[in-house]
Amino acid sequence: MNYTDMTTILKSALIGRYAVPAFNIYNLETAEAVLKVCAEEKRDVILAVSESAAKYAGGYKILYNIIKDMAKDADINVALHLDHGSSFEACKKAIDEGFSSVMIDASSLTFEDNISLTKRVVEYARKQKKTISVEAELGELVGVEDDKFGNEQVYTSPTKAKEFVERTGIDCLAVSIGTSHGINKGVGTPQIRFDIVKKIQNLLPTTPLVCHGASMVRSEIIAQINEVGGNIKTAQGIDTKDIHKLATSTNICKINMDTDLRIAFTLGVRKYLFAHTDTYDPRKYLAEGKTEIESQVRFALELLK
């Protein structure tokens, strides 16, 4: 494995006109499934960890050691990334305990406060002996409970994006272009603002852009979950054609995928327990969860090239 910073991976993607997946992981099973497929397909990968996932797994250092040991024989570039760091302290802790990349998410703050906090993280990252990549977010990426799209203030302003990157010195910028977190993307088919992406990349041609909230929430997987005892009623994702277009025709070089892996893992576990009601060995049903994640990772990798 070449354990590296995220910028190195994304610069190659920017030149080659493809996107690198950032798969969110939580534990041994999710990390193992993602790395296995990416290594087999010889595709660089960003393993993303949220603050809550790090807490669940026992801390940043534990996840770092797991990834370092697990991926040492994989002949691909791997970055370990803090996803949506909420504070300077969270980003500092991740850097201090081995992560090669962090995202400081101060998008809920004012423009000037966002710049101030982001600059502080960048300055700390640049002091390290090894290269640490810093991602930040500008714009409002809505969540499951929100229904705000159509309001132009939600989207990333191209002119402010240029100023933000120039003043903070970040390595990549997460933009709000019509995607949203979670399993329900709102009312109607989500509309990706390709016009905004193109305006931003025209102003920032050498800056890798990032798309969060790009879960596809494939209807066939939801249907299978419900067939084996699930009860997911309102689920809608981003059109796979839009994901492919973002990856291959824009400067979106990193596409985050979290919910799709959760759904896949849930499907595998439910299928096994539904068919084997007498089981009590978690290794058996967790293995099925891993298998479904592997399938989803392969599907995603095909879309991003």
Map out the domains of the chain as residue ranges: 2-303
Q: How far apart are CA 146 and CA 13, in angstroms?
A: 32
- Per CATH, domain 2-303 is 3.20.20.70: yes
Q: How far apart are CA 64 and CA 48, in angstroms?
A: 11
Q: C-alpha angle 212/217/220, rounded to 5°?
A: 160
C-beta separation of 102 from 94 below 8 A? yes
Catalytic residue flag (residue 83): yes
Q: What is the pTM of this model?
A: 0.92
Whether 298 has a pLDDT exceeding 60, the answer reads: yes
Tokens 């910073």 belong to 5
Q: What is the pLDDT of residues 114-133, one digit of tens each?
A: 999 999 999 999 999 999 99
Whether 144 has a pLDDT exceeding 70, the answer reads: no
Catalytic residue among 5, 44, 69, 83: 83
Structure tokens at 28: 């041994």
Confidence at residue 1, expressed as pLDDT on a 0 to 100 scale: 60
Instruction: Please report, rounded to a whole number, the percentage of residues in the chain having pLDDT higher than 70.
Output: 93
DSSP secondary structure code for residue 157 in this structure: P
Instruction: Please report, rounded to a whole number, the percentage of residues in the chain having pLDDT higher than 90.
Output: 83
Confidence at residue 145, expressed as pLDDT on a 0 to 100 scale: 34
Tokens 């040492």 belong to 72
Whether 16 has a pLDDT exceeding 50, the answer reads: yes
Q: Give the orientation angle of helix 282-303 with respect to helix 240-249, to 10 degrees.
A: 60
Q: How far apart are CA 284 and CA 289, in angstroms?
A: 9
Confidence at residue 87, expressed as pLDDT on a 0 to 100 scale: 98
Per-residue pLDDT band at 209 (split at 50, 70, 90): very high
Q: What is the pLDDT of residues 257-294, one digit of tens each?
A: 999 999 999 999 999 999 999 999 999 999 999 999 99
Sequence-distant (≥ 6) Cβ neighbours of residue 264 within 8 angstroms = 221, 289, 292, 293, 295, 296
